Structure 1
Amino acid sequence: MSSLWDSFENFRRKLIVFLVRNVFNLVHLLAVQRDRTLATTAYAASAETLYIPSRDSTRKIKAYLYTPPTGSASPSLPKPVLVNWHGSGWTIPFHGSDVAFCARIAKELDVYVVDADYRKAPENPFPAALDDVKDVLDWVASQPERFDASRVAVSGASAGGSLALVASSTLRASLKVDIKAVLAHYPVTDLGLKAEDRVIPKPVAPLPPPILELFYSNYVGTDVAMRKDPRVSPMYARVEDYPQTVVIVTCEGDTLSVEAKRLAEKLDDGSRKVVKCVLEGMNHGYDVGAKPGTKLWDRREKAHALMIESLKDSFRKG
């Protein structure tokens, strides 16, 4: 009887994931297309599709490489590189949704941007996504003719922001690149936090607790101790493991802002530059497909400008 119940629960979970994925991508289809058009017209994006080797010789990791414009720096010299991971709840395939951000960084800072995919749960639970993160960064280190491994930054939104924070803290000592900065856009930082601890004064289209629980249980299960592992929740990483520049942008209407702000406060101990920003009236995922002239656009411009300036300063010092 137990086996039959487990089979039913497994089928139910897969059905819910299937529906969530399809509804999510349908809702965001036009928004992502707007950002792709913007990347081409405003930032003259030149993106190459790569397939990066993984630790599994039978599988490669898809990535988009944004090449900076030539002229402002010698093309014969390796350039700094930003490695980015998209939001997904560790469940939704949404690779390429950060196209506007990636293209703008490449153009304005004259650096390479690697926008990398990663495996999704429940088909590939923890540590699959994190293994892909490390494999991509190891690949960056193996390309010295193109990338300056002494000037690397990582970034991401939502679950991608969480992966970037883990890469820049718990994974950092094991990497062959020197991560100078991490840019986290409305990141998940504490999977062990209870729903009642995420109450905020002015929620704006908050992520429903059952959906968050679906994402988290898909990724890492229900064990509380595992959810507080620093490889899963960057809130529990050692402060001293973080790089010299940390940027955490949160949204006032996002329930995940509670944990993100806590991490920012924890890291702001005088040992590093911590840039904290709360976007008034914004919700989780507000930035995808933002239209010019809207409040969403203005807030995205503010967030991107802040991250660009912090990254510029970080690479300059490097």
Structure 2
Amino acid sequence: MGLFSILNYLRLKVIVTFIRLIAKWQRRRLRAAQPGPNKKQISIPSRDPGRFIEGYLYTPPETPGSPANKKKPILVNWHGSGFVVPSLGLHDVYCARVARDSGINVLDVDYRKGPEAPFPAAVHDTEDVLKWVAGQGDQFDISRVVVSGFSAGGNLALVAASVLRSSFEELKLQIPMAIAIYPVVDITVEPAQKVVPKPIRPIPAFLARIFNDSYTPNPESRKDPRVSPALADPSSFPGTVVIVTCEGDTLAPESNALAERLKDGKRKVVHKFLEDVGHGFDDFCREGSKAWEQREAAYGLIVHTINEEFGHSG
């Protein structure tokens, strides 16, 4: 690593540390609602000896008349982070809702962040989690695995569902459905060019550059579809794709374009465009607010689509 690279890393490290402190303070001040009792923390082995990927497993409540030994599908979720902020557990409400209302297992998992662990570290963790799930065929129905994510996590979910999907076939793991909520899909586009007519608390261009530089210090890597899933071959995506975008989010245009590109008659594409809300609107919203109403609409649509795919009983 040259002197310039070292100085750039130290610059990013200082800025990201400050961002993490602010995010931690916000989460303490605005604590997300905690889910019910069907949640446990787990540690998943990674490809690196002695290193584990942390996660939370949500199991659905038992329904009267359902076979006790019937294996249920599983949804694997990756949290939002800008690829730099530790936020495991941020989407408790979503994970608990899906487990309860869809009757399937939900695994909310962590991944490594930049600048300490740039691309492809997060993608490797994504692969390792899904390989672990593939080895749990006695516990989950690995022929019905949904991948899901928010923001940067939505990026990882789309990468898992497109570029990486075929690599799991020999492990008997199948991904028939992907869900991406206000995802990052094209990092090749300069952040200042990402604009919308009615921005709502948009991600500042300078901050987006910090995120991009921390995750992909080599700009050439941004053309890799494992970084920018909008560049993946549309035929590589699964049979059902759900994309949720927000009117006030500067990331919406690229995700809207991806949703349209996937509507080629070969798959079911559910594209929900939410008005009057911005990026991360659902993280800490008050009951009765516009953000809360849109959160209920988005989560309800996701649950409905899962139930259509698998049946409510799982």
Q: TM-score, normalised by structure 1?
A: 0.93
Work out whether residues 59 and 104 of structure 2, in 8 Å CA contact, stay in contact via their aligned partners in 1: yes
- Distance (Å, rounded) in 2 between the aligned partners of 1:106 and 1:293: 23
CA contact (8 A) 2:32 2:90 kept: no
Matched residue, 1:226? 221
Name the residue aligned to 2:212.
216
- What displacement does 1:277 show? 1.1
**Matches for 1:198-217 after TM superposition, within 5 Å:** 198-217=194-213
Name 2:232's counterpart in structure 1.
Answer: 237
- How far apart are residue 194 of structure 1 and its match? 2.0
Match in the other structure for 1:179: 175
SS of the equivalent of 2:32 reads: helix
Contact 2:72-2:105 within 8 A present in 1 as well: yes
Q: Does structure 2 conserve the Cα–Cα contact (< 8 Å) formed by 1:54 and 1:135? A: yes
Determine if contact 1:165/1:182 at 8 Å carries over to the other structure. Answer: yes
Residue 27 of structure 1: how far off its partner (Å): 1.6
Q: 1:9 to 1:127 in 2, by over 3 A?
A: closer
Deviation at 1:28, TM superposition (A): 2.8
Farther off after superposition, 98-107 or 305-314: 305-314
**Residues 198-242 of structure 1, C-alpha deviations (whole Å, 9 max, x = no match):** 12110011000111111111111242x321211111101111110
Give the Å deviation of 1:138: 0.8
Instruction: Name which of 235, 242, 249 aligns with 1:247.
Output: 242
Distance (whole Å) between structure 2 residues aligned to residue 208 and residue 99 of structure 1: 26
**Is the aligned partner of 1:163 residue 2:156?**
yes
Query: Is the CA contact 1:180–1:315 (under 8 Å) kept in the aligned structure 2?
Result: no
* Structure 1: distance between partners of 2:155 and 2:216: 13
Q: What are the superposed Cα offsets for residues 37-59 of structure 1, whole Å, 9 maximum, x if unpaired?
A: xx2xxxx3411110011111210
Say yes or no: does 1:314 pair with 2:309.
Answer: yes
Residue in 1 that maps onto 2:273: 278
Alpha carbons 1:181, 1:245 under 8 Å: kept? yes
> Which residue is equivalent to 2:186?
190
8 Å Cα contact 2:114/2:214 also seen in 1: yes
- The answer on whether the counterparts of 2:154 and 2:180 sit within 8 Å (CA) in structure 1 is yes
Q: Quick one: distance in 2 between partners of 1:132 and 1:18?
A: 22
Pairwise CA distance, 1:110 = 1.1
The whole-number CA distance in structure 1 between the counterparts of 2:76 and 2:238 is 15
Aligned to 1:114: 107
Structure 2 residue matching 1:87: 3-state secondary structure: coil
Could you say which residue in structure 1 is the equivalent of 2:68?
Answer: 75
Give 2:260's aligned residue: 265
**Do 2:32 and 2:93's aligned partners in 1 also have CA atoms closer than 8 Å?**
no
CA apart distance, 1:156: 0.4
Change over 3 Å in CA distance of 1:7–1:254 after alignment to 2: same
Whether the 8 Å CA contact 2:9–2:115 is kept in 1: the answer is no
Counterpart amino acid of residue 77 in structure 1? K
CA shift for structure 1 position 271: 0.7
Question: Which residue in the other structure is 1:130 paired with?
Answer: 123
Name the structure 1 match of 2:90: 97
**Structure 2 residue aligned with 1:34, among 32, 35, 38?**
32
Do the aligned residues in 2 keep the contact of 1:45 with 1:67 (CA within 8 Å)?
no
**Which residue does 2:50 correspond to in 1?**
58
* Structure 2 portions without partners, runs of 5+: none
Report what 2:134 is aligned to. 141
CA distance in 2, matches of 1:208, 1:11: 21
TM-superposed CA distance for 1:167, in Å, is: 0.2
| Per-residue Cα deviation, 1:76-110 (whole angstroms, up to 9, x for no partner) | 12110000000001100000001000001111111
1:6 Cα offset (Å)? 4.9
Report the alpha carbon displacement of residue 311 of structure 1 after superposing the two structures with TM.
Answer: 1.2
Q: What SS does the corresponding residue of 1:179 show, helix, strand or coil?
A: coil
Q: Is the 8 A contact 1:35 1:288 kept in 2?
A: no
What's the CA shift for 1:34?
Answer: 3.3
CA contact (8 A) 1:52 1:62 kept: yes
Q: CA separation in 1, counterparts of 2:29 and 2:99? A: 23
Output the CA distance in 2 between the equivalents of 1:315 and 1:234: 26
Preserved CA contact (<8 Å) 2:276 2:290: no
Output the amino acid matched with 1:17. Answer: V
Separation in 2, partners of 1:30, 1:250: 26
| Partner SS, residue 34 of structure 1 | coil
Q: Give the conservation status (yes or no) of the 8 Å contact 2:74–2:141.
A: yes
Q: Tell me the CA shift for residue 197 of structure 1.
A: 3.1
Q: What is the distance in 2 between the residues matched to 1:7 and 1:143?
A: 41
